[in-house]
Amino acid sequence: MTNMKDIAKIAGVSSATVSRVINNNGYVSHITRQKVESAVEKLDYVPNSQAISLKKGATKTIGIIAPNITETITVLVKNFTLAAQKKGYTVILYLTENDPKKELNALELMRSKQLDGIFLIIRSNDWSTIESYTKYGPIVTWQRVKSPCISSVFIDQYDGYLLGLEHLYANGCRTIINLYSDIRRLNTKSRIKAYEYFCKKYDLTPHSPELFNNINSIQDGEHIAHWLANQEIKPDAFMTSSDAVAAGLVSQAKRLGYSLPEDFSVIGFDNIEISHLLDITTIDYSIHKQAENAFKMINNDLSLQKLTPEELDFTLIVRKTTK
Rounded CA-CA distance 266/308 in Å is: 36
Ramachandran bin of 319, using left for φ above 0, alpha for ψ from -120 to 50, beta for the remaining angles: beta
Question: Does 56-154+288-311 carry CATH code 3.40.50.2300?
Answer: yes
Residue 28 vs residue 247, higher pLDDT: 247
pLDDT at 5 over 60: yes
Chain region(s) in the chain for CATH 3.40.50.2300: 56-154+288-311, 158-285
Res 49: pLDDT: 53
CATH code of 158-285, in short, is: 3.40.50.2300
pLDDT at 56 over 60: no
Res 43: pLDDT: 87
pLDDT tens per residue across span 207-252: 999 999 999 999 999 999 999 999 999 999 999 999 999 999 999 9
pLDDT at 2 over 90: no
Q: What angle do CA 7, 48, 139 make, to 5 degrees?
A: 150
Q: pLDDT class for 122, splitting at 50, 70, 90?
A: very high
Answer for the pair 64, 46: CB distance below 8 angstroms, yes or no.
Answer: no
Residue 281 vs residue 156, higher pLDDT: 281
- Sign of the C-alpha dihedral computed for residues 215, 316, 276 and 92 taken in this order: negative
Q: pLDDT class for 287, splitting at 50, 70, 90?
A: very high
Q: What's the mean pLDDT when you consider all of the chain?
A: 93
Q: pLDDT class for 175, splitting at 50, 70, 90?
A: very high
- Rounded mean pLDDT, 193-219: 96
Res 55: pLDDT: 52
Class (C level, CATH) for 4-47: mainly alpha
Strand ranges of the sheet holding 151-152, from the earlier edge strand across to the other edge: 90-95, 61-66, 117-120, 139-141, 151-152
Which range, of 19-23, 61-65, 182-186, 290-294, averages the lowest pLDDT? 19-23
Which range, of 38-42, 168-172, 282-286, 292-296, averages the lowest pLDDT? 38-42
Chain region(s) in the chain for CATH 1.10.260.40: 4-47
